[in-house]
C-alpha cells in the first residue's frame, strides 16, 4: 500500500516543517497548569522524550500568557499556544516565541484584532492552526446537525480572515466526535485547499476506546494520503496520546523505523499466559528506536515458523519455551521464570545492537547482530 | 461517509449470514482447552454476552474433536472449528454440527481428503473459511518477502480446491502482521472474487497496541466497503477482542446503535482527573444497547456546549461539577464524590430508559426520556 500523499504548501512551526511531503508529525497537549512553569517544562520534556513533535499549552489567561516566555527559554523544540477569546494572549504567545498558535480568528473578535495578530506573526518561523470543532461551530453554520460541509466552510472562512490580514502559514483541522463525519470533513478539506491538515477525532474516549476510534478515523485518512500532522485526543495522559499516535503512524509505515512486537493471540493450543509478557516487552521497547522485530508466540509448532522474520522471539507451549533468532531455535528458557528470562535475553540482544549501531561495521542489517 | 459495500455471495454459518450486505459480524476464538467442555461452554457464553457473533474453537486433536458434540448441544448460536493437518478432525466437526470450519485444503493433504470434507459439509447450513496467513504461506508462493499477490493467489487456489469438490459456501481471509500488506491483500481479494471476506491483522500485539493496529487495518478496509466479518487478534482475552471489534464497527456506524461516551482530553483548564470517570462510565455502559450519548467534560465553559447532543453528562472544573441533560444544566454533583454521584445519576437515567424501552410509547427518540 503506497498512498500518494496529498500535495500541500509547507508550513513552518519553529524547527518543525508541516506538509509538503515532510514526515507526518505527532502533536499533543500538556495537562499541567501553564502558569506552573516547572510542572509544564517537566511535562513538555517527558512528551518530547516519548516522541511528541509539537506540544500545545493551554493559555486560559494573562498569567498563563506571561509564563510562556519562561517556558520557552527552557524548552528546545516546537511549542504551540492554545488561544481563545482574547487576542492579547495571542500577541503574548507570539512575543514569547511560540512556534504555533491554535487560534480561530472569529473567536478573538475578527477585524482589527486579527490584523494585529497577523502582523505580529508575519515573518516569523511560526504557524497558525485554524481549528474548527463540530462542538463549537459558529451558530450561523449550524443547523440541527453539524455537516462536513459546514466544518470545512467555517475553517476556510476563518483561514481567509488570516490570509486577508497577510498571514499564510496556516494549517487546518476540522474535528468532530463522529468518525464518519471526521473522515468526510477532511476529505472535503483536502479537495478544497492546499493547507496542511492537522487530523484528529475530538473527545474520542478513554485510552483504549479513544485510541481505537482515533486509529480508525486518522488511519482511514492517512491511508488515502490525507493528513500532515496528527493529534490523538484521549481522556488519558498526554504520553498515551503520543504513544497511540506513533502506533498509528508506525502501523502504516509512516513513522520512523522502530521495533515491532508480533504476538500470537494464543488459543486452546497454548497453556501459557502470554499477555503479561507481550505487555512487558512492549514497555521495554518503548524508548528503543532500532528497527527490530520481536515475536512472542504461543507454540513451538507455529512459533518459529510464523515469526520467521523476527529478530528475536520466544515460542512457549505447555510448560516449555524456546528462544529463537531469525526463525531458528537458539536456546531454551525456564518456563517458570519466562518473563524475566526473556527480558534478560532481549536486553542482551539490545546491548549488542546498540554497540553495533554505534559502529555500523560491527553488525549486519541496520546494526543487528547475526543469529547465534 | 457512506461507503458502498462490496457485493459478495451470501454464506450461511448456522444462524449467521455473512456477506451480501448483511451486517458485518464479529468473530473471536476461545482460549480454553476445547477438551474441557465446561470451561469452553462457559467462555463461549461469556463471549456471546459481549457481542461475539461467531466463536471459534481450536481442535488440535481427536479428543478435542470428540468434545465438539457436547459443546454444540449446550450452545445456541454460531460456532466455528479451527482445523489443521487432520481431515478427520474436520469430519468430526461437521458431524458435531459446527457452523463453520476454518480449514485450508492444502493443509489437510488435498485431493481425496478435501473431497470427503466437501461432501460431508455440502447441503448443511455451514461455511468453510479458507484462511491464509503470511506466516504460514505455502513455500512455493513465498519468495524472500510475502506479497499481497501471493496471499490472494494462495487463498484463491485453496478455495478452488473446495469449489472443485463441490463446496461453495466459502469465506476468505488473507492476514498478515504488517497493516499495509493486509490492506493491499484484501483490496486485491475484493477485486478478484465474490467470496465474503473475513478481515484481520494477525498477531497484532497487546490489547492496546494490537487494537490500534487492527483498527487501522480493518478500519481502512471497512471504510472502502470491503469486509463482511472481522476478527481482532490480540494477545489479551477474547472478550477484549470482541470489545475492540465492536468499537471499530461502531466508530464507522456499522454496528448496532449503542451508547457513546464523549470525553474531553482535559487540558490546563481542568483540575479534575476525568480519566477514571471515563473508564468507569465506559465499563458501566458495556452491556447497554440503548443508543445514548454520555459526555464527560472538563469545564463548565465548553462542557454543556460541546456536548450539546449528549443525553446525559457532567462538566467538571476546578472543584465544581454540574450534571446536564441535552446540553442543559440540570443539577450539581458533589465534586469530592463525583464518580459515585455521576454513576448514580447514570443508573437512574438508564433505569428510566429501560422502562421507556420496554414501553416505547412512554419515551421519545428510541426510548430515551426527555431532558428534565
- Tens digit of each residue's pLDDT (9 = 90 or more) over A310-338: 899 888 766 678 888 887 888 888 878 88
pLDDT at A263: 86
Judged by a CB distance cut-off of 8 A, whether residue B365 touches chain A is no
Q: What are the pLDDT digits (tens) for B152-185?
A: 999 999 999 999 999 999 999 999 999 999 999 9
Distance in Å from the first CA to the final CA of chain B: 34
Name the CATH code of domain A260-364 (choices 3.40.640.10, 3.20.20.70, 3.30.413.10, 3.40.50.2300). Answer: 3.30.413.10
pLDDT at B302: 63
- The residue ranking higher by pLDDT, A360 or A125, is A125
Portion 211-230 of A in contact with B at CB < 8 A = 211-213, 215-217, 219-220, 223
- E-state strands within A45-106: 54-58, 79-82, 100-102
pLDDT at B138: 76
**Smallest CA–CA separation between B166 and chain A, in Å?**
31
Chains A, B: CB contacts within 8 A come to 226
pLDDT at A361: 38
Q: At B331, give phi and psi (nearest 5°).
A: 175, 175
What length is written for chain B? Answer: 372
pLDDT at A372: 37
Portion 288-307 of B in contact with A at CB < 8 A = 295-297, 302, 305-307
Comma-separated ranges of CATH 3.20.20.20 domains in chain B: 11-251
Rounded average pLDDT over A238-249: 96
Confidence of residue A365 (pLDDT cuts 50, 70, 90): very low
> ipTM value of the model?
0.91
Q: What are the pLDDT digits (tens) for A203-215?
A: 888 999 999 999 9
Rounded average pLDDT over A222-244: 96
Bridge partners of A312? Answer: A294
Comma-separated ranges of CATH 3.30.413.10 domains in chain A: 260-364
Task: Search chain A and give the residue with CA nearest B1.
Answer: A180
Grid cell of B209 as nine digits = 497496541
Distance in Å from the first CA to the final CA of chain A: 34
pLDDT at B16: 98
pLDDT at A369: 34
Using the beta-carbon criterion (under 8 Å), do B261 and A205 form an inter-chain contact? yes
Question: Within a 13 Å sphere around the CA of B249, how many CA atoms are in the beta-carbon half?
Answer: 26
- E-state strands within A106-245: 127-133, 170-175, 198-199, 229-231
Using the beta-carbon criterion (under 8 Å), do B31 and A266 form an inter-chain contact? yes
Least confident of A38-42, A263-267, B302-306: B302-306
Report the residue from A177, A204, A275 with minimal CB separation from B206.
Answer: A275
Grid cell of B81 as nine digits = 472449528
How many CB atoms lie under 10 A from the CB of residue B152?
23
**Smallest CA–CA separation between A150 and chain B, in Å?**
15
**H-assigned helices in chain B:** 37-49, 62-74, 87-96, 111-121, 148-164, 179-192, 207-223, 238-251, 275-284, 303-306, 338-358
CA A111, A112, A113 angle in degrees (round to 5)? 95
Q: Which of A1-10, A288-297, B35-44 has the highest mean pLDDT?
A: B35-44
In sign, the C-alpha dihedral spanning A198, A200, A203, A206 is negative
- The residue ranking higher by pLDDT, A119 or A319, is A119
For residues B70 and B95, the answer to whether their CB atoms sit within 8 Å is no
Q: d(Cα B273, Cα A31) in Å, to the nearest integer?
A: 10
- Indicate whether A6 pLDDT > 90: yes
Using the beta-carbon criterion (under 8 Å), do B265 and A64 form an inter-chain contact? no
Q: d(Cα B81, Cα B98) in Å, to the nearest integer?
A: 7
Grid cell of B306 as nine digits = 460541546
Of B197, B185, B191, B194, nearest to B222 by C-alpha is B197
Using the beta-carbon criterion (under 8 Å), do B248 and A1 form an inter-chain contact? no
pLDDT at A128: 98
- Three-class DSSP category at A113: helix
- Indicate whether A359 pLDDT > 90: no
For residues A297 and A324, the answer to whether their CB atoms sit within 8 Å is no
For residues A100 and A126, the answer to whether their CB atoms sit within 8 Å is yes
Least confident of A142-156, A164-178, B53-67, B350-364: B350-364
pLDDT at A203: 83
For residues A22 and A10, the answer to whether their CB atoms sit within 8 Å is yes
Judged by a CB distance cut-off of 8 A, whether residue B241 touches chain A is yes
Q: Which CATH architecture has domain A11-251?
A: Alpha-Beta Barrel (3.20)
pLDDT at A326: 80
**Smallest CA–CA separation between B352 and chain A, in Å?**
25
Instruction: Mark the ranges of chain B whose per-residue pLDDT is less than 50.
Output: 358-372
- Indicate whether A140 pLDDT > 80: no
For residues B174 and B135, the answer to whether their CB atoms sit within 8 Å is no
For residues A226 and A197, the answer to whether their CB atoms sit within 8 Å is yes
Q: d(Cα A190, Cα B39) in Å, to the nearest integer?
A: 52
DSSP 8-state secondary structure symbol assigned to residue A25: E
Using the beta-carbon criterion (under 8 Å), do A234 and B265 form an inter-chain contact? yes
Largest interatomic CA distance in chain A: 74
Confidence of residue A75 (pLDDT cuts 50, 70, 90): very high
Percentage of chain A modeled with pLDDT above 70: 89
pLDDT at A271: 64
Of B318, B285, B320, nearest to B295 by C-alpha is B285
Q: d(Cα A24, Cα A288) in Å, to the nearest integer?
A: 20
Rounded average pLDDT over A243-267: 89
Amino acid at each position: 500500500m503506497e498512498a500518494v500523499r496529498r500535495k500541500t504548501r509547507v508550513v513552518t512551526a519553529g524547527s518543525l516543517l508541516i506538509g509538503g511531503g515532510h514526515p507526518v508529525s505527532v502533536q499533543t497537549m500538556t495537562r499541567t497548569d501553564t502558569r506552573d512553569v516547572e510542572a509544564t517544562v517537566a511535562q513538555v520534556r517527558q512528551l518530547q522524550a516519548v516522541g511528541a513533535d509539537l506540544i500545545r499549552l493551554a493559555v486560559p489567561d494573562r498569567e498563563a500568557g506571561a509564563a510562556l516566555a519562561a517556558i520557552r527559554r527552557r524548552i528546545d523544540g516546537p511549542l504551540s499556544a492554545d488561544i481563545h477569546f482574547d487576542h492579547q494572549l495571542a500577541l503574548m504567545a507570539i512575543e514569547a516565541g511560540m512556534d504555533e498558535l491554535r487560534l480561530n480568528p472569529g473567536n478573538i473578535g475578527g477585524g482589527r484584532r486579527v490584523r494585529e495578530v497577523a502582523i505580529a506573526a508575519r515573518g516569523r518561523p511560526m504557524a497558525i492552526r485554524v481549528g474548527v470543532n463540530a462542538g463549537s461551530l459558529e451558530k450561523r453554520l449550524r443547523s440541527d446537525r453539524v455537516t462536513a460541509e459546514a466544518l470545512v466552510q467555517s475553517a476556510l472562512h476563518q483561514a481567509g480572515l488570516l490570509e486577508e490580514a497577510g498571514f499564510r502559514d496556516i494549517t487546518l483541522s476540522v474535528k468532530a466526535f463522529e468518525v464518519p463525519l471526521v473522515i468526510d470533513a477532511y476529505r472535503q478539506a483536502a479537495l478544497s485547499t492546499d493547507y496542511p491538515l492537522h487530523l484528529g477525532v475530538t473527545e474520542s474516549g478513554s485510552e483504549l476506546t479513544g485510541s481505537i476510534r482515533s486509529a480508525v478515523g486518522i488511519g482511514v485518512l492517512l491511508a488515502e494520503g490525507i493528513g500532515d500532522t496528527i493529534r490523538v485526543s484521549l481522556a488519558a495522559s498526554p504520553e498515551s496520546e503520543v504513544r497511540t499516535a506513533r502506533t498509528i503512524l508506525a502501523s502504516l509505515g509512516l513513522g520512523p523505523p522502530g521495533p515491532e512486537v508480533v504476538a500470537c493471540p494464543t488459543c486452546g493450543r497454548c497453556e501459557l499466559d502470554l499477555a503479561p509478557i507481550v505487555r512487558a516487552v512492549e514497555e521495554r521497547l518503548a524508548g528503543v528506536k532500532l528497527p527490530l522485530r520481536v515475536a512472542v508466540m504461543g507454540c513451538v509448532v507455529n512459533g518459529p515458523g510464523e515469526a520467521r522474520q523476527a529478530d528475536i522471539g520466544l515460542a512457549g507451549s505447555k510448560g516449555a519455551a524456546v528462544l529463537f533468532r531469525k526463525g531458528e531455535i537458539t536456546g531454551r528458557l525456564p518456563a517458570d521464570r519466562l518473563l524475566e528470562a526473556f527480558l534478560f535475553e532481549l536486553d542482551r540482544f539490545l546491548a549488542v545492537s546498540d554497540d553495533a549501531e554505534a559502529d555500523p561495521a560491527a553488525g549486519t542489517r541496520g546494526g543487528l547482530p547475526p543469529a547465534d
